[in-house]
Amino acid sequence: MSLVKGKGTKPELAVRRVTYALGYRYRLHKRELPGRPDLVFARLKKVIFVHGCFWHRHSGCPRCRLPKTRKHFWGMKLEGNRLRDLKNQRLLREQGWSFLLIWECQTEDATVLEGIIRSFLEDGT
Ligand SMILES: [Zn+2]
């Protein structure tokens, strides 16, 4: 588990690679959208977030276990992240966007990842 924020670009790159291979083109990190989604498909009005299991509290995932020290501090901090995520998701929905959350632990198997991305992007188009 890495505690360094922003270091986890590997899952993001895996998502971009698979998406690109499926033939979809996207923009990255559009600032004007709530939460700065990692991949933006403007024409489809869809966005993808790639979430680190620890930082974004992937519930039930072994990677989201809190460090043994300063448990209270981490609990508060990460709960703040989680609430901010929920708020951004609500704002996106209100603006007519649909979103997909891809967890870091889902990016390791390219076949699984491709299935997730494909069903999201093909849905309702
Ligand atoms: Zn996870």
**H, E, C per residue of the chain:** CCCCCCCCHHHHHHHHHHHHHCCCCCEECCCCCCCCCCEEECCCCEEEEEECCCCCCCCCCHHHCCCCCCHHHHHHHHHHHHHHHHHHHHHHHHCCCEEEEEEHHHCCCHHHHHHHHHHHHHCCC
pTM: 0.86
Q: 43 CA to middle of ligand 1, Å? A: 29
Q: What is the residue extent of each domain of the chain?
A: 9-122
**In CATH, 9-122 is 3.40.960.10:** yes
* pLDDT tens per residue, range 16-53: 999 999 999 999 877 889 999 999 999 999 999 999 99
Tell me the pLDDT tens digit for each residue of 46-88: 999 999 999 998 989 998 888 888 988 988 999 999 999 999 9
Residue 6 CA to ligand 1 center (angstroms) comes to 16
| Spacing, Cα 23 to ligand 1 middle (Å) | 26
